């Protein structure tokens, strides 16, 4: 069983609010990822990190930002939420720098911006 | 660049039917291949994987064989159950790569 956690699981918030989606893993993995999942279920990589103090933008442009101050923690922040940010956000982690390492996913945060 | 193409869904089957979900890939080098499953309200979880040509991954009655000659990794199960209803994602991780490439996902409905 994967030890990767996301909070909150569900969030309904008004336009213009600042929000932080939390993601933590207890596996000591170096690599962490944030995906946005659209209603058609396709995954879009929005941020990733190779390790502490490393963050990179993913394939899908996003107004969100991330930080990686500790190995186990990879929070995602939206400074000013908009209805277009309504989506499912999935956090994942994997070990090592190369190889056949699979990704471990958290349960997701479903965000609704009204 | 690397890519994964999987059959569009939804796929609707009766219980105990045979399942095939097609997946083909484009990649340089020798990628590792994966099938992930996402049950309703949950994140993805690894179903099975194969790391080199002709390897067969298997788990929970599901199987997939890494076919380099046809660049395919089709998912099969001999007899599906209602509990197999989920979204299935084919994915690849290339040698030296850091990002997993996911297919668009195939939703499976199994009727009792």
Establish if B40 touches chain A: CB-CB under 8 angstroms. Answer: no
Cβ pair A43:B105 closer than 8 A = yes
State CA A70 to chain mean position distance. 15
Cis upstream peptide for A8 (omega within 30°) = yes
pLDDT of res. B15: 97
Q: Who contacts B7 (Cβ-Cβ below 8 Å, separation ≥6)?
A: B21, B22, B23, B106
pLDDT of A98 > 60? The answer is no
Q: What is the DSSP string of chain A?
A: ---EEEE-SEEEE-TT--EEEEEEESS--SEEEEEEE-TT--EEEEEEESSTT--EE-SS--S-EE--SBTTB--EEESS--GGG-EEEEEEEE-SSSSSPPPEE---EEEEE-
Mean local confidence (pLDDT), A37-58: 92
- pLDDT of B69 reads 95
| A108 → chain B, closest CA residue | B43
Selecting from B42, B51, B105 the residue whose C-beta is nearest the C-beta of A41 gives: B105
Q: Quick check: A14 contacting B, CB < 8 Å?
A: no
Interchain contact, A90 vs B43, CB within 8 Å: yes
Which residues, including other chains, have CB under 8 Å from residue B69's CB and lie 6 or more apart?
none
Where does the pLDDT of residue A1 fall: very low under 50, low under 70, confident under 90, or very high at 90 and above? low
Tell whether the model's pLDDT for residue A74 goes beyond 70.
yes
pLDDT of the residue at A100? 56
What's the mean pLDDT in B13-21?
98
The predicted structure's pLDDT at residue A105: 96
| Nearest by CB: A102 against B34, B95, B99 | B34
pLDDT range class, residue B98, cuts 50, 70, 90: confident
Query: In the predicted model, is pLDDT for residue A27 greater than 70?
Result: yes
> Touching check for B96 and chain A: CB below 8 Å?
yes
Instruction: Answer yes or no: do A92 and B105 touch at CB < 8 A.
Output: no
| Percent share of chain A, pLDDT over 70 | 94
B-chain residue closest to A33, CA distance = B99
Size of the A and B interface in Cβ pairs below 8 Å:
58
The structure tokens listed for A38 are 């659209």
d(CA B63, CA A67): 38
- What is the pLDDT confidence band of residue A60, given thresholds at 50, 70 and 90? confident
Q: Which residue of A has its CA nearest to B32?
A: A100
Kindly tell me if the per-residue pLDDT of A2 is higher than 70. Answer: no
Mean pLDDT confidence for A57-85: 94
Task: Give dist(CA B36, CA A92) in Å, integer.
Answer: 13
Mean pLDDT along residues A56-70: 92
Residue B75 pLDDT level (bands cut at 50, 70, 90)? very high
| Interchain contact, A40 vs B104, CB within 8 Å | yes
For residues A56 and A49, the answer to whether their CB atoms sit within 8 Å is: yes
């Amino acid at each position: 069983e994967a030890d990767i956690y996301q909070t909150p699981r569900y969030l309904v918030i008004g336009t213009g609010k600042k929000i932080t989606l939390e993601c933590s893993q207890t596996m000591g993995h170096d690599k962490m990822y944030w995906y946005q999942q659209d209603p058609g279920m396709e995954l879009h990589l929005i941020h990733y990190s190779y390790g502490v103090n490393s963050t990179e933008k993913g394939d899908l442009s996003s107004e969100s930002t991330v930080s990686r101050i500790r190995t186990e923690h990879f929070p995602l922040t939206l400074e000013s939420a908009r209805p277009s940010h309504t989506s499912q956000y999935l956090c994942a982690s994997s070990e090592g720098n190369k190889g056949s390492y699979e990704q471990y996913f958290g349960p997701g945060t479903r965000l609704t911006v009204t | 660049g690397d890519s994964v193409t999987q059959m569009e869904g939804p796929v609707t089957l009766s219980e105990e039917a045979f399942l095939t979900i097609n997946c083909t890939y484009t990649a340089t080098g020798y990628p590792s291949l994966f099938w992930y499953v996402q049950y309703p309200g949950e994140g993805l979880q690894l179903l099975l994987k194969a790391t080199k040509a002709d390897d067969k991954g298997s788990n929970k009655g599901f199987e997939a064989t890494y076919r380099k000659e046809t660049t395919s990794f089709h998912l099969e199960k001999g007899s599906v159950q209602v509990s197999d209803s989920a979204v299935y994602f084919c994915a690849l991780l290339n040698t030296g790569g850091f990002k997993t490439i996911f297919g668009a996902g195939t939703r499976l409905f199994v009727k009792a």
